[in-house]
Amino acid sequence: MHALWPNIVKWSAVLHPARGRLQRTSAQRSIGHDVTGIAQTYLTIMGSDASLIKPFLHAHPDAVLQVLELWLHFPRYLPAAALETCGCAYAIGVTALAMYDVLVYPANRPTPQDRALFVNQLCIAVGSKKTLYRAAVEQTDFLTTLRIPPLRPMAWDNHFGFIGFVVDVPELEGQNIPGKLIRSVVSAARHCLNSRETQYSAALGLKLLATLCMKAKDNRPLVHAFKAGVFDLLRDAESARLDFDLSELVRLLCAGLLQIKVIRAFHRRHPGEIAVSHLGTQELTRQVFTWTDVAHTWNSSRQRYLGSHRRREWRQTDHCANAQGPHNRLVRVCPCASIFYCSGSCQRLHWAAVHWESCMATQGAWAMRGAISLADAMFVQDLVRSYIADRHATIAAQISAQMSRKRGLLADATNLSIHVDFSDAVLTPRHEIRVRYPYGINLPLGLKYPIPGIVLVEVSLRLGTTLRECYVPLAFHVKDFVG
- Whether 293 and 326 share a structural domain: no
320 and 403 fall within a common domain: yes
- Which is more confidently placed, 443 or 103? 103
Report the DSSP pairing between strands 415-421 and 454-463: parallel
Report how far residue 282's alpha carbon sits from residue 382's, in angstroms, rounded to the nearest whole number.
Answer: 29
Q: What is the average pLDDT score of the chain? A: 83
Note whether 287 and 324 are same-domain residues.
no
In this prediction, residue 413 carries a pLDDT of: 42
What whole-number percentage of the chain has pLDDT above 70?
Answer: 87
**What pLDDT is attached to residue 440?**
47
Q: Give residue 264's pLDDT.
A: 93
Both 350 and 428 in one domain: the answer is: yes
Total domains in the fold of the chain: 2
Are residues 324 and 198 part of one domain?
Answer: no
Domain boundary among 307, 333, 359: 307
**pLDDT band, residue 135 (cuts 50/70/90):** very high
Report pTM.
0.86
Please report which confidence band the pLDDT of residue 1 belongs to, taking 50, 70 and 90 as the band edges.
low
Q: How confident is the model at residue 483 (pLDDT cuts 50, 70, 90)?
A: low
231 and 288 in a common domain: yes
Mean pLDDT of the 400-416 span: 66
- Residue 157 and residue 16 in one domain: yes
* Domain boundary residue, one of 272, 287, 307: 307
Query: pLDDT tens, 205-237?
Result: 999 999 999 888 888 999 999 999 999 999 999
Judge if 109 and 238 occupy the same domain. Answer: yes
Residues 137, 249 within the same domain: yes
Are 139 and 288 members of one domain? yes
Mean pLDDT of 1-30: 68
**pLDDT reading at 425 higher than 80:** no
My answer on whether 151 and 278 are in the same domain is yes
Task: Examine the domain organization and report whether 243 and 352 are in the same domain.
Answer: no
31, 46, 52, 390 from 56: Cα distances, Å? 26, 10, 6, 66
pLDDT digits (tens, 9 = 90+) for 45-79: 888 887 889 999 999 999 999 999 999 999 888 87
Q: Residue 409 — pLDDT band, cuts 50, 70, 90?
A: low
Residue 352 confidence (pLDDT) above 60:
yes
Domain that holds residue 230: 2-307
Q: Do 254 and 293 form a contact (C-beta atoms < 8 A)?
A: yes
Judge whether residue 478 has pLDDT over 90: no
Mean pLDDT of 291-298: 91
- Among residues 280, 307, 334, the one where a domain terminates is 307
Kindly indicate the confidence band of residue 358, based on its pLDDT and cuts at 50, 70 and 90: confident
pLDDT of residue 283: 52
Interatomic CA distance for residues 152 and 162, integer angstroms: 15
